[in-house]
Amino acid sequence: MSIINEKNFNKMKKLKLNFKLILATCVFSIIIIACSSNIDGDNGVNNSKIETLNIENFSKNSNMSLNYINEKHYIKFTSELINNKINSTSEVFDKNTNELIKSTTFVLDKNLPSYKLGVFKNIEEISSDIKASLTKNDWVKIKNSYERFVKELLKEIDSEMHKSDLIQSAFYHLSIFNTVIRSYDIEDCECTPLPAYFVGKSSFWCQEDYMFDINQMMNYFKTNKNQLFEFKDGEKVYEYVKKLDSKNEYISYKELFELRYSVKTYKDAILQNNNTNLLNKDREDCWLGILGSDLGCCGNYSGCCWVATLDCFLHDVECMNCDHWHCGWACEPGFTP
């Protein structure tokens, strides 16, 4: 039987302690490496994303140059006003190789009397022309990065600048990318414009890409049915959304729009009005049957009405005698349609 003296015993304790510290350090290092690998992987959890947006040049009335970088792409976006035309270009580069993946150009000619009405057709045509140049997977990657760029842009700029034609031009390119991606499922490059865009109430969106959160919508509807049912077809919308598969999280504007209107009639009316002088349009030629100057139209303008709601009608009736406090500076006393 061996006897361990106190000195040797303390030495062995020290060795054991050092071993435990080394072992703990190794385990901790492995955990850190594993976590780092997990963060940098493709599992959707990425806390080390590189995302920067630089506004190199911005003049609200003339031009803009933006540079955006994330972990996959470098995006250079330029927009300039020349002779009342908005020329915008989006260039998407591979961040690692600096190789240009895709460049898209969109021109908005504000010299045309009804220039907004032709936007959706231009987007459809551009999307159709460029679709075959990349795979669907490549387009999805570009769209995801570009969408993040637009969101970051809107966070960085003052809300009053959102309405600038230069800023708004960024939405046309997003619609092009979305339209290309959707075309792989529906075969055609289709884009149905939001009516609100025509009257300056919204940025440009294809109805197919403007999504509503179903749960949020139904939670509000359940406690505000009476408010919803006051609107024409409000009950129809409620019953339709209520019957949707519980697995659905979102519903597009177009799906709700089609419950109330014919998309074909709507788009045909846009094209027809785009090819004629809106100032001379008759009421029966308008897709909603009323003019922009009629009661109930959301806005007061020449040509056909593109957005009409019960709220706008009640507002217009109340403001026929024009109280500038809540009717706006542009109302005219005694106005009748």
Reported as a pLDDT band with limits 50, 70 and 90, residue 324 is low
301: in domain = no
Whether 76 has a pLDDT exceeding 60, the answer reads: yes
Reported as a pLDDT band with limits 50, 70 and 90, residue 73 is very high
State pLDDT tens for residues 268-301.
999 988 876 655 566 777 888 889 888 889 888 8
206: CB partners within 8 A, 6+ apart: 120, 123, 175, 178, 179, 190, 191, 192, 193, 194, 254
| pLDDT of the residue at 224 | 87
| pLDDT of the residue at 330 | 61
306: in domain = no
Co-location of 188 and 235 in the same domain: no
Co-location of 201 and 218 in the same domain: no
105: in domain = yes
Contact criterion met (CB below 8 Å) for 318 and 331: no
Co-location of 221 and 253 in the same domain: yes
228: in domain = yes
Last residue of a domain, one of 146, 171, 205: 205
Contact criterion met (CB below 8 Å) for 67 and 98: no
Co-location of 30 and 75 in the same domain: no
Whether 4 has a pLDDT exceeding 50, the answer reads: no
Does residue 195 or residue 54 have the better pLDDT?
195
Co-location of 180 and 71 in the same domain: yes
| pLDDT of the residue at 21 | 35
Co-location of 172 and 215 in the same domain: no
Q: Distance between CA atoms of 266 and 305, rounded to whole angstroms?
A: 12
| pLDDT of the residue at 316 | 85
Whether 88 has a pLDDT exceeding 80, the answer reads: yes
| pLDDT of the residue at 6 | 45
**8-state DSSP, 119:** H
Last residue of a domain, one of 254, 275, 296: 275
Reported as a pLDDT band with limits 50, 70 and 90, residue 28 is very low
What is the DSSP secondary-structure string of 175-224? Answer: HHHHHHHHHHHHSS----B-HHHHTTSS---BGGG-EEEHHHHHHHHHH-
| pLDDT of the residue at 253 | 94
| pLDDT of the residue at 300 | 82
Contact criterion met (CB below 8 Å) for 147 and 92: no
What is the DSSP secondary-structure string of 154-167? Answer: HHHS-GGGGGSHHH
* Boundaries of domain holding 85: 52-205
State pLDDT tens for residues 195-251.
999 988 899 999 999 999 998 988 888 888 888 888 888 899 999 998 887 778 899
| pLDDT of the residue at 310 | 82
Does residue 25 or residue 50 have the better pLDDT?
50
Residue 123, token pair as written in the block: 């987007």
Going from the C-alpha of 272 to that of each of 116, 193, 337, the distances in angstroms are: 13, 15, 24
Whether 74 has a pLDDT exceeding 50, the answer reads: yes
Q: Which contiguous run of DSSP H or E holds residue 105?
A: strand 100-109
Whether 46 has a pLDDT exceeding 50, the answer reads: no
Co-location of 16 and 152 in the same domain: no
| pLDDT of the residue at 125 | 97
131: in domain = yes
Please report, for the chain, how many H helices and E strands are present, in that order. 12, 7
Co-location of 56 and 167 in the same domain: yes
Co-location of 225 and 178 in the same domain: no
**8-state DSSP, 34:** H
Co-location of 178 and 194 in the same domain: yes
Co-location of 171 and 234 in the same domain: no
* Count of structural domains, the chain: 3
Whether 141 has a pLDDT exceeding 90, the answer reads: yes
